[in-house]
Each structure stands twice: as C-alpha cells, then as structure tokens.
Amino acid sequence: MKKNTLGSLAFLAISFILAANSYASSVPSADTAAFVKEPSAWAPEWGGSSPYSRNIFWDFNKNPSAPTPGGKGSKDATYFGINDTTELKDNDSVATTSKVIWNSSSKALGIFQNDRHGVAMFNIANLVSTGVKHFWLEMDINIKKTTSYITADLLTAGGSVVDSWGTYDTLIWSGTDTGLANTVNAWFKINPFSTAESLQLTFHSEGIGSYAYVDNVHIATTPEPISVALFLTGAAVMAFRRRRSLRAVAA
C-alpha cells in the first residue's frame, strides 16, 4: 500500500512539473510583453495578471495596414497573449483614412502635416465567451499645438462600453505649442462580452507646424483563461483522491 501511495505521489509530482514546464514554454517573456503600466496593477478593475487573453503590440516598424501574405491579419503586429491563436490573428486588421499615414522614417502612424484630420481603426477579434470584459490601451503619443489632439474610442460588436476613463467611451489627449511626447493609457469595461472590438484613433492637427501621431500601440484584454498548469494539477489531485477513495471502499 505504501509503495502504491508513494508511486502515485511521484506520478503526481512529475505530472505537475511537466505541465508547468509546458505552460511556461508557451508563455512569452514577461520583458517583451510588458506594459509601462500593467493593467493588472493600474486598471480600476481587471481579471488577472499577465499573460493576458489578448496582448498585441504595434511598434510601426512596418506599415500596419499594408497587405499581408495571404491577405490576413495585421503586418506590424507582435503577439504575446495566451489566446492569440492563428484564427484570431488572421481576423485582426488595421485600416486608415487617406490623411493618416505610416511614416517610414520615424516609424510612427498618424498625421505629420498641419491642418489634417483622419482615423486609424485597429480591429481586434476575440473568443466567444460570456460575462464582463476589460480592455487596456497603452501608447506613446506625440502632439504639437494646443489645437491638435488624438482621441481613442472603443467600438464593440455585441457588447457595450459600460465604464471607462474619460467621458463614456471616448478619451482625448491634447498637444502643447512646444510639442507633447508622453505615454498614455486607457481602460474600458465591456458588458456583455463582445466578440470583437475596434479601437478607433482619431488624429487632428491644426496650426502651422502641427502634428499628431503615435509611436506605438499596445493593447490587452481579459478575462484570462485558467492556467493550464493549475488545471492539470487539479485534475491529477482529483484523480489521486478518487483512487484512494476506491481503495478505501475496496478495503
């Protein structure tokens, strides 16, 4: 009996180690996926720590709205989320109006001339789920002139923005006459859970020498799925307990 018990415990320990190693290998480096302000620490409400369900970073080293091989997905996106599957990636996209351009020299997206107005739409696919959803945005902005600005709106499919920083679902950042360069954040709460979101960035430059652009865009969403390692460990524990119960009944 003791040998069987020790063998079961050893099997349980090995199963846990293998599951943990498998899970860890599937999770990207925390350094590469990190935000300046992590949503798990800064958002008024959040559903867990990193890794997040979707975690997408655009650094604009490439034109995000340029055609991709196969015509699917966003060319510039780098993925770190635990649910960033091929199916979801292929349904992500970035679209811009004519006045919003990708600047290959500065590796940025927006408006680089005075007296222009335009929109960039970041379309983000999601899992089918229920309940409340959270959306976190972080980006480095550059705006010159107090009459220039960038706004962020979150448009949802099948859900509604019920809470956010700002007025309803719109946030606005204005420039300064000498030029504003800053890292900004936004948080949105969606209920019910939406099957897709479109982050709409509106760029407005006004005045001689004005501009409004972003150096990067980084988003994350929750809820976060249950850790695979914890799930497998829990299943192994329940199986071990069940075997012990069966032995007790047999005895």
Give the separation between CA 26 and CA 61, rounded to whole angstroms.
Answer: 25
The CATH fold of domain 31-228 = Jelly Rolls (2.60.120)
pLDDT in tens, 151-179: 999 998 888 888 887 555 578 999 999 99
Question: Do the beta carbons of residue 145 and residue 151 sit within 8 Å?
Answer: no
Q: Is the pLDDT at 231 greater than 60, yes or no? A: no
The answer, as to whether pTM is greater than 0.85, is no
Give the separation between CA 251 and CA 240, rounded to whole angstroms.
Answer: 17
pLDDT in tens, 81-134: 999 999 899 999 999 998 999 999 999 999 999 999 999 999 999 888 878 889
Give the separation between CA 32 and CA 78, rounded to whole angstroms.
Answer: 10
226 pLDDT band, cuts 50/70/90, is very low
Between the alpha carbon of residue 213 and those of residues 59, 94, 102, 136, 159, the distances in Å are 12, 15, 9, 19, 29
